[in-house]
Structures are given as structure tokens and as C-alpha cells.
Amino acid sequence: MRQPIKSKQDASEFAFYVFMFYMLVVYSGLPDYFPTLGAIRPGLLCVSLLTINMLSSGSLSKDITETEVLMLFLIIGQSLLSFTYAKNTGVMRHLFEAEILNIFGLTLGVMLALRAEYHLRAFLKLWLFLGVLISAQVIKNGGVGPQRLGDENDVTLVIVLMLPFFFLGVNFYKGFYKWLCVTGILLSFVAIVAATSRGGFLALVGMLVMLWFFSRKKIAWVLAAGLLVSLAAAFFIPQQYKNDMSTISDTQESTADARLYSWMLGFEIFKDNWFLGAGTGQYGWEVSKYQRERGDFEIDEQGLKKRRDLSGRTSHSLYVDYISERGVVGLIFFSIMAASIYRRLKSMRARWSDRAGDPQNDLFVYFSVAASCGIVGNLVGSIFVTSFYFPSLWLMVGWVIATHRIVQPNRMDIGI
């Protein structure tokens, strides 16, 4: 049996338990059910405690040298710089605060907490429990999630991120957690339908395609997945949901037309601010100017504006929002971070490629394949969802780094 790579004495137990509680606060919706808990702002308290621990232990100076963390700090630095040239600093201040909380509470927080293999195993079990809890709440609440995950797009992307851990966990775990994974799969599909998010549906498709890609029994997997989807479509998915999803690629349908229109305006903003972008959160401030220049606010024969004013709104696409607000410089930062995450995940899958390990019995292969599928699903879904400030992106960056650090001492590093 594999021994933990690091001993308990080498890891910060305090940071580990604080972070585990922080995950409960962020993903479980505890403050929704215990108003007194919400009044003391437990999330901010946890982030403060984790940050103090980082500074006192000296881990921050090491963590910031990791490529992905450095890129996130450069992205935050770009947000800070945009205060000097952006036109609406009110929304920027809110998003800048979210970036600070995300990187210290989630990215650096998980890197501080997960220092040993037994930490990773414990956190994976909490992740499965949270996935079941979130899905159950979405079903109960009619499509919305707990507290910070109240938006249907946000909560659907979180569920899609968790789903591959359930799928692969059915074979990886035994006993109670095996059945927890089975329950998670069933509840997750029902919750995704209840949320009725088109971006979430695309994310689900992208995630399932990745699971098929990594499967060694592709034909059997397709047959099983096809049977599951067919049964769900026949007995559980309402007709209205089918109608909504059937128009997802129809560019003449009203919401699709509005989406393409908002994307086109985003590219216009990018063309005029191609180097640094218009500034963090500035799409919703700049967009009306471009609408006005196009004559989209003119009155038609029926006395109506040709187009609705999009002021204060997003483009409903991570990529359009991102390049219009951060330009080529921000795109370079994001691309470097994504490439580094890809290399880390690939290195953890090396044993599987060499047929020395398998998601059914190797912890790190299990994590790498599940995380890869979930991340790709979220990136696909983000075509239709502005997801950059959702907690999951920032969490997964740190989680991949932390897991790769644990596995490095026992495996050959390739390309990192």
C-alpha cells in the first residue's frame, strides 16, 4: 500500500481544516440555513486566517513562483493598472476585491492546505459530498444553487466540474463513497436539467466527450452513456427543456441573436483596445457607446428601439468579456496559465499512458482525468457564460498545482 508522500508533521493541519471549512462555506450554502453564521462573515474570516498562515509560514514566497500563480497575480495587476485608464471604476473595485479573495482564499488556500496525499484523499471525499449537496439543493430550489452559487449558469458549471469525479469515482471508491458517486451522478443530471442553462448543457456535452476520449472501452462507454441519456430524455426531461436546448444553435432565435449581437460588440471594443483592453469589468460600461455609434438606439416604425440597451450587462461569454476588457496582454497571461495547467495534468496521467496506473486504482490518475474532463467542460460552457470570477476556476488552478507537488517526489517530472 502506498505510504503518504509527506508526513502529517510536514503539513499545516491548521490551514487544512480552515480551508475545508471554507469550502463548506463557499459551496454548501451553510450561511443560508444559519443566518447567525452568515452575520460573522465566515468566508472573509477563513481567507484572513489562511493569508496570515501563508505569510507567517513563508509559503507565499514559494507559491508565487509557480507559473500559474504568477500569471494570476499579473492578471490582478492588470486590473489594478486599469484603474488608471478605465472609465467606470465602481464595478472594477468590486471585481478587483473578488480577484483578491479568490486568489488568497481559493488558489493559494488550496495550495497551502493540501500538502500530503492524505490531505488530497480527504478533500476529494469532501468534494464528492459537496457535489451531492449542491445538486440536491438545486433540485429542491427549482434550479438555483446555494448562496454564492445562486446563478443557474454558475451552479451548472460547478456540477459539471464535479460530475467526472463521480463517474470515475464509481470504480475508484468502494463501499459508502462508491454509492455516494452513483447518487451524485443521478442527482447531477437532474440538477442540470432543473437549472435550464444552455451554457451548462454545452459544458455537460464537452465533459462527456472528454470522458469518452479518456475511456479505454469507448464503444461500451458510448452505449452506456447513450442508454442513460435516452432514459433521462424519455422519462425525466420536460418538453420545455428539450425545446430550449433544440434552439441552442439557431442564430435566428431571439436569445441566440442577442447573444451573437453582444459578442460582435465585444469584438468591436477589443479592436479599439486591443493591447490592454478597455479595463476590468468595462464591457457593460463601454457597450452602449458602440450601440449608439451603430445607430442601434434609433426608433423604428413601431416606435421601438432597434436594440435593447446592454449597459451594465456582460456579453455572456468568458472569452468575449475577457479579450474586450484585458486585450492581448491579458490573453497572453491566461494562455500561459492554461498551458502550464495542461502540462501538469498530462504529467500526472503519464502512468496511465504507460499502462502502469489507472483511474480505478491510482489516486493521481483519477484526479488528473477527472479534473481534465471537468475543466474542459467548463471551458466549453464558458463560450456562453461569463465565468471568470466564479470560484471554481481559481480553485482548480491551485488544486492542480497542489496535487502535482504531492506527486512529484515519487514520479518522473515531464515538462514542468
User: What is the reported pLDDT for 10?
Assistant: 43
- Mean of the per-residue pLDDT values of the chain: 84
Q: In this structure, are residues 102 and 110 in contact, taking their beta carbons and an 8 Å threshold?
A: no
Q: Is the dihedral of CA 98, 330, 92, 199 positive or negative?
A: negative
Q: What is the pLDDT of residues 201-219, one digit of tens each?
A: 899 999 999 998 888 776 6
Beta-bridged to residue 305, according to DSSP, are 299
**pLDDT grade, residue 236 (50/70/90)?**
low
CA dist 280 → 19, 87, 215, 328 (Å): 28, 10, 40, 14
Q: How many Cα atoms sit within 13 Å of 291 on the Cβ side?
A: 20
Q: What is the pLDDT of residues 88-103, one digit of tens each?
A: 888 889 999 999 999 9
User: What is the reported pLDDT for 7?
Assistant: 40
Q: Is the dihedral of CA 144, 150, 154, 157 positive or negative?
A: negative
Among the listed residues 332, 266, 263, the one whose alpha carbon sits nearest the alpha carbon of residue 67:
332
Confirm whether pTM is higher than 0.85: yes
Q: Does 179 score more than 80 pLDDT?
A: yes
Least confident of 36-40, 219-223, 266-270: 219-223
Q: What is the pLDDT of residues 23-57, one digit of tens each?
A: 999 898 777 777 777 777 888 899 999 999 999 98
The C-alpha angle with vertex 366 and arms to 1 and 114, in degrees rounded to 5, equals: 75
Distance CA 125, CA 366 (A): 13
User: What is the reported pLDDT for 234?
Assistant: 57
Average pLDDT over residues 129-141: 93
User: What is the reported pLDDT for 311?
Assistant: 81
Q: Which residue has the higher pLDDT, 1 or 51?
A: 51
User: What is the reported pLDDT for 178?
Assistant: 95
Q: In this structure, are residues 51 and 104 in contact, taking their beta carbons and an 8 Å threshold?
A: yes
Q: What is the pLDDT of residues 309-354, one digit of tens each?
A: 788 888 889 999 999 999 999 999 999 999 999 999 999 987 655 5
Average pLDDT over residues 388-408: 93
Q: Compute CA 397 distance to the chain's CA centroid, rounded to the nearest angstrom.
A: 9
Q: Does 152 score more than 90 pLDDT?
A: no
Q: Does 410 score more than 80 pLDDT?
A: no
